[in-house]
Chain A
């Protein structure tokens, strides 16, 4: 058995856990740890330029790979800077382990230099947190942290480590546990068979069914099973913003995203459905619109690994608590069983009528088939996403920031695979996109990685261009530039009579092309539609360069459809500036 210091145990434990990258930023409280990483650790460390970026990069790495992201930051400002990224991961249930340095044990509570109560300040945005009290606890605590982060409903776990627990001159026997058992933590292993049977019966009796699948299907590796289930039954599927890619975006059975900026056909189908199979989705307010008016005729089957997500906002008729993969496997078996006994299920005639209705909606106002966005002299933002889709063959990993560009990307980039769409859905964190793209590119160096952003969001973590340079992560940044904080402006247009309070930059924006060159990257600006496709192709042809495509888009465009709120239902939408349902 090896004798290791606390710092060395951390380095070794991360190796033993099979960690691929540590995203971090050094500082006083973690210097012993950094020294141990330097001396002997196979896990590469990625030095970001701001701790928030470390958390977003690690988070996106986790979203793309399914493995927990790992962050290492120092105490005080290092820890507080990480909070936004931890909250982002928490809201989207992303597995992440954050190691934060802490001042020496005897200084805790003394308002010491760079001291902050990290366990306290992170408490509302972590799945769990640990404070190390002695170095001997380190290996078992790290094992527990990874176990908690990755199992059940995943989430971020913080380990706060006082500096004296990592000192190099005190060595301990190192043993990394193979497994964890905690009496107070036991996530559901499988769904209740009786409930699944009931769900199968209700599903097969449906005349107007919809499958509503969220991020839990992506995180829970349930995409293939969900797709199989939907195809077996020929039922329509809609995905949440977090669930995009859980069901193939180009499939005829796919209705598009639902919710506030969801597809007309998806929202209409939800509203008029008689049975909803909700899987790994949480009936978020951005989905339901007014809860009391939500899908009045629908019976709801709700599958989720987190019991607290069930009946939190919308009452479920058949709740099923369990991991999506095991529940869907069992549900498929039950459906087969029932259909063996009665080949007439589900009602083919009713289903045909339902599809006819859906196709009518799709034809009338569907984003990809019926209603097109308006045309103008200028480039429409949607055209940029269509160009990106074409240039990447629909196979890119697309990270996004937050705002109009995010919604355009969600609507127009049709994701056929899970884990390709990487965005901050729950917290809505501007500044997520670029560090996220770095995390994804490190995970998949040969894949196309695009960051769809706006000139507002990109400036919230633009310093990471330097990280891109240092670690050679050639991502493509697609800037939908309208010289406004676009989503804010859209709401100000719609609800504040166009008073653009705090949503314009006047003439203060940098020359992004020059800025890119200053960072050692490639900047290109596109102002004309006829140049767009060629520029997009050129950007992706520069395989080993980070490219920033600054695309000047129509400044007036809004994201539609848009739920009418307050007091609207799923079917109440603005379809354009002057057309509503």
Chain B
């Protein structure tokens, strides 16, 4: 099962490599990884997605919690949550394809953020599934480049991951 694990991490050099290293060291997979500082400059917020059964995920969260740089950790998939992935996708847009791409982008509520004589760059925000669906819908279009931020997530309601 796919899980979204969100971590408050000490904003220290080497902290990120400890998290990433743990995954390769113990044979766990990281599907996506997103990390950036928070409003507290001493803390980074890291969101990663991984797959595994309950025992596997329990072991991953325990091992992550053992890292001294990990301040707090939550498995967002345990409760209601919001997840967002951001994609920038550059496609070949000439002739009839220009209209087709524009239409599909509108349907997915994306934005064309850069226009060239032969290319469009589209920005799309949503769940990973939605982004996958958009890429799948681009079958007749020549995709030149795909950039995704990886999932960022937050719990719904009153629940917060903070100090």
A interface residues, Cβ below 8 angstroms from B:
119-120, 123-124, 127-129, 131, 148, 182-185, 306-308, 311-312, 315
Residue from B55, B59, B69 within 8 A of A184 (CB atoms): B69
Docked complex: B36-67 residues within 8 A CB-CB of A: 55, 58-59, 62-63, 65-66
A-chain residues with CB within 8 Å of residue B62 when the two chains form the complex: 307-308
A-chain residues with CB within 8 Å of residue B68 when the two chains form the complex: 127-128, 148, 182, 184-185
Q: Is the CB of A119 within 8 A of B21?
A: no
Q: Is the CB of A120 within 8 A of B17?
A: yes
Chain A nearest CB from B26 CB (Å) reads 9
Q: Is the CB of B163 within 8 A of A306?
A: no
B25 lies within 8 A of chain A by Cβ = yes
* Contact code string B3-32 (vs A, CB < 8 Å = 1, else 0): 000000010011001100100010000000
A-B contact pairs, 22 of them (CB 8 A): A119-B14, A120-B17, A123-B17, A123-B18, A123-B21, A124-B21, A128-B68, A131-B13, A148-B68, A182-B68, A183-B71, A183-B163, A184-B68, A185-B68, A307-B65, A308-B62, A308-B63, A308-B65, A308-B66, A311-B58, A311-B59, A315-B55
A129 to B21, CA, bound (A): 14
Give 17 A-B pairs besides A119-B14, A129-B14, A308-B63 with Cβ atoms closer than 8 angstroms.
A123-B14, A123-B21, A124-B25, A127-B68, A128-B68, A131-B13, A183-B71, A184-B10, A184-B70, A184-B71, A185-B68, A307-B62, A308-B62, A308-B65, A311-B58, A311-B59, A315-B55
A119 to B59, CA, bound (A): 24
B interface residues, Cβ below 8 angstroms from A:
10, 13-14, 17-18, 21, 25, 55, 58-59, 62-63, 65-66, 68-71, 163
Closest residue on chain B to residue A155 by CB atoms: B66
Chain A nearest CB from B35 CB (Å) reads 16
Closest residue on chain A to residue B71 by CB atoms: A184
Q: Given A123-B18, A124-B25, A184-B10, is A312 in contact with B59 using a C-beta cutoff of 8 Å?
A: yes
Top 5 A-B pairs, shortest CB-CB distance: A308-B62, A184-B71, A128-B68, A124-B25, A185-B68
B-chain residues with CB within 8 Å of residue A312 when the two chains form the complex: 59
Closest residue on chain A to residue B64 by CB atoms: A308
A32 to B59, CA, bound (A): 43
Q: Is the CB of A306 within 8 A of B66?
A: yes
A-chain residues with CB within 8 Å of residue B25 when the two chains form the complex: 124
B-chain residues with CB within 8 Å of residue A308 when the two chains form the complex: 59, 62-63, 65-66
B-chain residues with CB within 8 Å of residue A183 when the two chains form the complex: 71, 163
Residue from B10, B18, B55 within 8 A of A311 (CB atoms): B55
Chain B nearest CB from A78 CB (Å) reads 20
Closest residue on chain B to residue A183 by CB atoms: B71
Chain A nearest CB from B145 CB (Å) reads 30
A-chain residues with CB within 8 Å of residue B17 when the two chains form the complex: 120, 123
A-chain residues with CB within 8 Å of residue B66 when the two chains form the complex: 306-308
Chain B nearest CB from A149 CB (Å) reads 11
A183 to B71, CA, bound (A): 7
B-chain residues with CB within 8 Å of residue A184 when the two chains form the complex: 10, 68-71
A308 to B69, CA, bound (A): 16
A311 to B68, CA, bound (A): 21
A-chain residues with CB within 8 Å of residue B71 when the two chains form the complex: 183-184
B-chain residues with CB within 8 Å of residue A311 when the two chains form the complex: 55, 58-59
Chain A nearest CB from B16 CB (Å) reads 11
B-chain residues with CB within 8 Å of residue A127 when the two chains form the complex: 68
A-chain residues with CB within 8 Å of residue B65 when the two chains form the complex: 307-308
B-chain residues with CB within 8 Å of residue A128 when the two chains form the complex: 68
A119 to B15, CA, bound (A): 11
B-chain residues with CB within 8 Å of residue A185 when the two chains form the complex: 68
Chain B nearest CB from A45 CB (Å) reads 28
Closest residue on chain B to residue A306 by CB atoms: B66
A-chain residues with CB within 8 Å of residue B55 when the two chains form the complex: 311, 315
A149 to B21, CA, bound (A): 20
A124 to B62, CA, bound (A): 16
A182 to B69, CA, bound (A): 10
Closest residue on chain A to residue B60 by CB atoms: A308
Chain B nearest CB from A507 CB (Å) reads 42
A280 to B68, CA, bound (A): 21
Chain B nearest CB from A6 CB (Å) reads 19
Chain B nearest CB from A265 CB (Å) reads 32
A127 to B17, CA, bound (A): 14
A129 to B66, CA, bound (A): 13
A-chain residues with CB within 8 Å of residue B21 when the two chains form the complex: 123-124
Chain A nearest CB from B23 CB (Å) reads 11
A-chain residues with CB within 8 Å of residue B59 when the two chains form the complex: 308, 311-312
A524 to B10, CA, bound (A): 57
A315 to B54, CA, bound (A): 12
Closest residue on chain B to residue A144 by CB atoms: B68
A148 to B66, CA, bound (A): 11
A128 to B68, CA, bound (A): 7
Chain A nearest CB from B41 CB (Å) reads 15
Chain A nearest CB from B74 CB (Å) reads 15
